[in-house]
Amino acid sequence: MTLQPGATLGFVGLGNMGTPMVRRLVEAGYEVRGYDTDPEARERVAALGATVVSEVDKVAAGADAVLLMLPNSDVVERVLYSDGLLEAARPGTVLVDMGSSRPHSTRTVAEWAASRGVPMVDAPVSGGVGGAEAGTLTVMAGGAAEDVEHVRPVLERIGGKVQHVGDVGAGHALKALNNLMSATHLLVSSEALLAGQEFGLDPEVMLDVVNGSSGRSGSTEAKWPKFVLPGTFDSGFGLRLMLKDMRIAVELARETGLPSALGESAVELWAKAAEELPPTADHTEIVRWLQNEHGKGRR
C-alpha cells in the first residue's frame, strides 16, 4: 500500500527547502509532525498547519515515514543515532533522506535502520527553493523498488518528477555528481561572461546568444538571469552546501579510479570563496567573489 494523503509523516529539517516541502504535504492532506533545532523554523511550519514537536525523536510517533531535509550526513547521523530518532521509529516506518548526504554514510545508516526493521530510501532533489515551492523538483530515489513505490506519492507531491535511480545511496551519489557539474558550469560560465563584459559585451546579449548556443547550462538559463544580473544573489542554496556536494563528488570520482581534474580545481576555487565570504553566502555569490578576486568588483 502506498502512502496517500492522510498518512502521518515525521519531518526533520525545516529550512529553505524543508519549509516549502512541508507546506505542500500539509496542503495535500498529509499529517505532518515537524522538528527543527531552530524555534523560528518550528513556528513557521506550525503556522502552515503542521504539528511541531519539541524533541526530534517525537516526530517518529505513529509515523508511516520520516523525512529528513538536513544540511549534511554528520547532522543526519547525529539526529538518527545520538538524538534517538532511529530508536524511536517503529518497524515498518520508512526513513527518507531528502538532503544531499554522503552515499557511504547513507549505506551504513540504511544497514543499521534495516536491522531495526526500518527501510531506507535516499531521495535528494534538484530544482532549488523555487522548485520546492512549486513542486517541480527532480527527485533521485535510491532504495529497494517496493520501498520507493511505497513513498512515491509523497515524493511526487513534493517534487513532481521522481526517478528511481538504483539501490540505496545511488540517489545521493547522483545528486553530488549533478552538483559538481552544476557548480563547475557556474564557475566557467561566470569566468567567460565576466571576461566578455570586461571586453565590452553586454551580459544580457551574451546570455541571449549563449542560451541559443552550445555553451548554455542551468547557470546561463536560470542562475545568471534570476540571481546574478538583478544583483540579488538569493537563490536560497548556500555556497557552503554546494562545496559539501562538490567534495562528495570528487571523492567518489577518486574512489572509482576516475578522478576529476577539472572538478578538483573547481573545489579549490570554491573552497577559497567559502573561506572569504560570510557563512550565510548564497552559492550564486561565487560570481561576485570571482569579480573581486581580480579587483573588478562592480555589483
- Contacts to ligand NAD by CB under 6 A: 12-18, 35-38, 41, 56, 69-72, 75, 78-79, 99-100, 125-126, 128-129, 236-237, 241
Q: Least CB distance from residue 103 to ligand NAD, whole Å? A: 13
> Which is closer to ligand NAD, CB of 176 or CB of 207?
176
Rounded to the nearest 10 degrees, the angle between the axes of helix 39-46 and helix 18-28 is: 20
Q: Least CB distance from residue 192 to ligand NAD, whole Å? A: 24
Q: How many residues does the chain have?
A: 299
52/22 Cα distance (integer angstroms): 11
Q: Of all residues in this chain, which one has the CB nearest to ligand NAD in the complex?
A: 15
With CA atoms as reference, report the closest residue to 279 among 77, 71, 41. 71
Q: For 91, phi and psi rounded to 5 degrees?
A: -55, 140
Give the side-chain half-sphere CA count within 13 A for 185: 18
> Which is closer to ligand NAD, CB of 72 or CB of 291?
72
**538532503: which residue's cell?**
99
26/49 Cα distance (integer angstroms): 7
> Which is closer to ligand NAD, CB of 79 or CB of 174?
79
Q: Least CB distance from residue 213 to ligand NAD, whole Å? A: 27
Q: Is 175 a catalytic residue?
A: yes
Q: Least CB distance from residue 222 to ligand NAD, whole Å? A: 12
> Which is closer to ligand NAD, CB of 97 or CB of 206?
97
Single out the catalytic residue among 175, 223, 226, 272: 175
150/96 Cα distance (integer angstroms): 11
Which triple of cell numbers denotes residue 12? 526533520
Give the active site residues: 175
